[in-house]
Chains A and B, each alone.
Chain A
């Protein structure tokens, strides 16, 4: 595991964690369809596949554990024989007294919600190439990973090499979204083979293997009770949920603890009890995918909001507004710990404003309701769906940056982030350019290469804009002191009299007295005839690590106007609005891209994408013909509205935004569908949203 939760978390959360190790190749027991049990190395893929055909596997079928209910049955076969049961983790967080409130006779409802299994599906599958140098006993690994430093560490540990003899590079990875955010068996196996064979070894995953063997996501089931008063104030929530982790749990309790930490969302709810049970089954391992536990919790909470509103005969928008934390209460302490062990405190923002803005972008609540009534009168089904959520972003524990000024005056930046299309090189160049008063094209950025920076964490958890940018700023600040000291020495003036402008250090108010960064870098060179102040070390290079105090809290409201196609049952999204606040935007165009791409994946997850297993644990959706990914035709008109409330937790004021877009679409659309079909009393308790069920509701209305 990359990190076990810190002591402060372990002290604050009731927990029991027994995460089983995942073997590089299955031995003795194969635990899911797709688990690798042999490896073939050949000079071409065609020969390797021929050889695979020749392998005869002598397997004895064991009873399958294909669902969480099968896993939790008292006589359940054990997926891992060395564990006491199929439960690999239990977590429980409480604030206030939810049980007491629910037992006190106040109004309450209880429901069961299911988030189905779906997955990231980048268009480029995974791949690992490794080359061994026998003279230096060192390995170079090119892996399509989001976490090069973690891969390096794992390979070094498993193969008994010092980390300095392992280099991992992840250039131009074709999409990630979390599925490439942890170490896979192939990341270790391929370097092992390269070293053993003394030849470069390449492994490229095909799509069928990707569906079988790259991690899946979501897949949990919640039993929830919610207590509320007649005015629509939510008083308490109790949520017991079970997460189907598949056969292994490569990223531990990350997703379920996210589900708990994000359950209460932007609402002021005094009492909470949330408990997660993570079970292993005979399915592909489950690991974080864009949102990682948040879409699951947000589905539960935002469906509950609509269900409570229905109980009270109140508009769901009004119910949300009555429960939302007002801006004057920011920063707001939720009263539960985050996964980094720090108490959850929403750092900044205006939740009700985002909700209002989203509704207004759809024409305003009164107009929407009038149109809905008119539609119903014509026998059409039109509905409004809203989903508001918060999102802890920019998670620690750290990211570093090396900033160097070459004798040419060019700025070089290296950081541990790994891009898969987000535009990291662009935004890091922007941040460095601002720090040094140069243009972005004068900055060279190196990412996703353990050879460029000693320590790194990687790109997961909407963290790179926050952590890498802050590290670049921090390293630049330290390096600037040296630059100014040399400039003061050369210009024979006090450091306080200097300023940085257009790539030059000049005397304030005397622009003619200036010196370029290139000249300073030349003066700083180690060796004869340097021109540094006495006692100063040579070179212009600084590495600093940014360790965020905790996560920054982004938030958003998604709103969808949906009309149901009466013939097919298809929910047609007439317009989809995202009002999103991830603090200061470094590059608004790239931010749009992150949100839009996320929404597309969320729409897919809500309406199209589904991993299906049969009762024997056999995967039934092993191709893109069975697993439906949204196409251009599936995308509705989307409006993205950014709010920019700076985070007080870092100097740039940025919050993360990689995942937010994918969190809310399933529930925003579900709420809209239920709203459209209110005349039938139709409610959705499970994703994906099924046209067959919608058609039944329509039949009920039309008789």
Chain B
């Protein structure tokens, strides 16, 4: 169980090589070995969603995956999504709609929202609620979170409908 394995993972666009124990959780690997502490750990039971990352482009719970399982895969964490600007607008909308209080769930929420909007470009209100139920928030009652994701979805639809990118105005 403690014999070390060498893994090569693309994390936030950069190739990372490390030796890890096979039992090492991906969440611990990201936070402790790579110092990417934006991935939060809330339950390690796959329920709360605070540790959500993108694995080969889809949302996944990093607390339910061993680091050795992502050998050869592409991992994107909240840091990668933030630094590339991919979730900048979602972050602004979370701020605008007070979609966070303590902020502990927020990195996972943003990744869940990003994944939802990537794969459901024009979600219905119910699809947004159900999709965002992949992560737990204990502070906000989800009201601001749903408003933020709804506005992001609406803007995407508007942007797709127009031939040229629309100027985003805040209402």
Binding site for B on A (CB under 8 A): 45-46, 120-125, 172-175, 177, 206-208, 420-423, 589-590, 592-593, 596-601, 623-625, 629, 631-635, 638
| Cα–Cα distance between A625 and B129 once the two chains are bound (Å) | 20
Cβ of A62 to closest chain B Cβ, rounded Å: 31
Contacts of B141 in A (CB 8 A): 596-600, 635, 638
Is the C-beta of B138 less than 8 angstroms from some C-beta in chain A? yes
| Cα–Cα distance between A207 and B42 once the two chains are bound (Å) | 7
Contacts of A46 in B (CB 8 A): 21, 23-24
Is the C-beta of B102 less than 8 angstroms from some C-beta in chain A? yes
Cβ of B171 to closest chain A Cβ, rounded Å: 16
Among B23, B132, B136, B139, residue most surrounded by chain A Cβ atoms (within 10 Å): B139
Quick one: which of A120, A123, A177, A638 contacts B104, CB cutoff 8 A? A123
Contacts of B21 in A (CB 8 A): 46
Contacts of A625 in B (CB 8 A): 45, 47
Given A599-B141, A623-B47, A629-B138, residue A124 in contact with residue B98 (CB < 8 A): no
Given A46-B24, A207-B44, A624-B47, residue A632 in contact with residue B142 (CB < 8 A): yes
| Cα–Cα distance between A206 and B27 once the two chains are bound (Å) | 13
Q: Are A174 and B136 in contact (CB under 8 A)?
A: no
| Cα–Cα distance between A568 and B102 once the two chains are bound (Å) | 35
Cβ of B129 to closest chain A Cβ, rounded Å: 5
> Can you show 27 pairs from A to B with CB atoms below 8 A apart?
A46-B23, A46-B24, A121-B138, A123-B104, A123-B136, A123-B139, A124-B42, A174-B104, A177-B138, A206-B43, A207-B48, A420-B101, A421-B104, A592-B98, A597-B138, A623-B45, A623-B47, A624-B48, A629-B138, A631-B133, A632-B128, A632-B130, A632-B133, A632-B137, A632-B146, A633-B130, A635-B143
Q: Are B45 and A123 in contact (CB under 8 A)?
A: no
Is the C-beta of B124 less than 8 angstroms from some C-beta in chain A? no
Given A632-B129, A632-B132, residue A596 in contact with residue B102 (CB < 8 A): no
Is the C-beta of B144 less than 8 angstroms from some C-beta in chain A? yes
| Cα–Cα distance between A601 and B142 once the two chains are bound (Å) | 11
Contacts of A177 in B (CB 8 A): 138
Quick one: which of A423, A600, A624, A633 contacts B129, CB cutoff 8 A? A633
Cβ of A669 to closest chain B Cβ, rounded Å: 15
Binding site for A on B (CB under 8 A): 21, 23-24, 28, 40, 42-45, 47-48, 50, 98, 100-105, 128-130, 132-133, 136-146
| Cα–Cα distance between A638 and B147 once the two chains are bound (Å) | 13
Given A589-B98, A593-B139, residue A174 in contact with residue B145 (CB < 8 A): no
Among A122, A422, A631, A638, residue most surrounded by chain B Cβ atoms (within 10 Å): A631
Q: Which 3 A-B pairs have the closest CB atoms?
A: A421-B102, A174-B104, A421-B101
Quick one: which of A124, A125, A593 contacts B144, CB cutoff 8 A? A593
Cβ of A664 to closest chain B Cβ, rounded Å: 14
Contacts of B45 in A (CB 8 A): 207-208, 623-625
Closest to B50 in A: A123
Contacts of A633 in B (CB 8 A): 129-130, 133
Other than the given A173-B102, A597-B101, 14 more pairs (CB < 8 A) read A122-B102, A123-B42, A174-B40, A174-B102, A206-B43, A207-B48, A593-B98, A593-B140, A597-B139, A600-B138, A624-B48, A629-B138, A632-B129, A632-B145
Q: Are B138 and A122 in contact (CB under 8 A)?
A: yes
Contacts of B42 in A (CB 8 A): 123-125, 207
Among B45, B50, B105, residue most surrounded by chain A Cβ atoms (within 10 Å): B45
Quick one: which of B23, B48, B142 contacts A123, CB cutoff 8 A? B48
Q: Are B102 and A123 in contact (CB under 8 A)?
A: yes
Contacts of B146 in A (CB 8 A): 632, 635
Cβ of B67 to closest chain A Cβ, rounded Å: 12
Contacts of B28 in A (CB 8 A): 45
| Cα–Cα distance between A124 and B146 once the two chains are bound (Å) | 21
Q: Are A631 and B103 in contact (CB under 8 A)?
A: no
Closest to A210 in B: B43
| Cα–Cα distance between A206 and B23 once the two chains are bound (Å) | 17
Interface of B is mostly: loop
Contacts of B133 in A (CB 8 A): 631-634
| Cα–Cα distance between A110 and B101 once the two chains are bound (Å) | 42
Quick one: which of A175, A207, A592 contacts B102, CB cutoff 8 A? A175
| Cα–Cα distance between A599 and B40 once the two chains are bound (Å) | 25
Q: Are A597 and B48 in contact (CB under 8 A)?
A: no
Q: Are A172 and B103 in contact (CB under 8 A)?
A: yes
Cβ of B119 to closest chain A Cβ, rounded Å: 17
| Cα–Cα distance between A634 and B126 once the two chains are bound (Å) | 11
Q: Are B43 and A207 in contact (CB under 8 A)?
A: yes
| Cα–Cα distance between A326 and B21 once the two chains are bound (Å) | 69
Quick one: which of A173, A422, A631 contacts B136, CB cutoff 8 A? A631
Closest to B134 in A: A631
Contacts of A600 in B (CB 8 A): 138, 140-142
Contacts of B43 in A (CB 8 A): 206-207, 623-624
Closest to B102 in A: A421
Cβ of A585 to closest chain B Cβ, rounded Å: 14
Q: Are A597 and B47 in contact (CB under 8 A)?
A: no
Among A175, A422, A589, A601, residue most surrounded by chain B Cβ atoms (within 10 Å): A175
| Cα–Cα distance between A45 and B25 once the two chains are bound (Å) | 11
Q: Are B44 and A206 in contact (CB under 8 A)?
A: yes
| Cα–Cα distance between A599 and B139 once the two chains are bound (Å) | 10
Among B40, B44, B101, B130, residue most surrounded by chain A Cβ atoms (within 10 Å): B101
Cβ of A595 to closest chain B Cβ, rounded Å: 8
Cβ of B84 to closest chain A Cβ, rounded Å: 24
Closest to A624 in B: B47
Closest to B146 in A: A632
Contacts of B145 in A (CB 8 A): 632
Q: Are A421 and B139 in contact (CB under 8 A)?
A: yes
| Cα–Cα distance between A600 and B133 once the two chains are bound (Å) | 14
| Cα–Cα distance between A423 and B102 once the two chains are bound (Å) | 9
| Cα–Cα distance between A172 and B103 once the two chains are bound (Å) | 8
| Cα–Cα distance between A120 and B139 once the two chains are bound (Å) | 10
Contacts of A423 in B (CB 8 A): 101
Cβ of B20 to closest chain A Cβ, rounded Å: 11
Closest to B132 in A: A632
Q: Are A124 and B104 in contact (CB under 8 A)?
A: yes
Contacts of B139 in A (CB 8 A): 123, 175, 421, 593, 597
Among B21, B43, B44, B141, residue most surrounded by chain A Cβ atoms (within 10 Å): B141
Q: Are A421 and B103 in contact (CB under 8 A)?
A: yes
Cβ of A41 to closest chain B Cβ, rounded Å: 17
| Cα–Cα distance between A634 and B142 once the two chains are bound (Å) | 10
Contacts of B47 in A (CB 8 A): 623-625, 629
Quick one: which of A207, A601, A635 contacts B138, CB cutoff 8 A? A601
Given A46-B24, A601-B138, A633-B129, residue A123 in contact with residue B105 (CB < 8 A): yes
| Cα–Cα distance between A532 and B47 once the two chains are bound (Å) | 62
Quick one: which of B23, B98, B128, B143 contacts A638, CB cutoff 8 A? B143
Quick one: which of B103, B130, B144 contacts A174, CB cutoff 8 A? B103
Closest to A173 in B: B102
Cβ of B134 to closest chain A Cβ, rounded Å: 8
| Cα–Cα distance between A633 and B134 once the two chains are bound (Å) | 10
| Cα–Cα distance between A623 and B64 once the two chains are bound (Å) | 14
Closest to B97 in A: A589
| Cα–Cα distance between A633 and B127 once the two chains are bound (Å) | 9
Cβ of A578 to closest chain B Cβ, rounded Å: 11
Cβ of B46 to closest chain A Cβ, rounded Å: 8
| Cα–Cα distance between A593 and B21 once the two chains are bound (Å) | 43
| Cα–Cα distance between A465 and B166 once the two chains are bound (Å) | 42
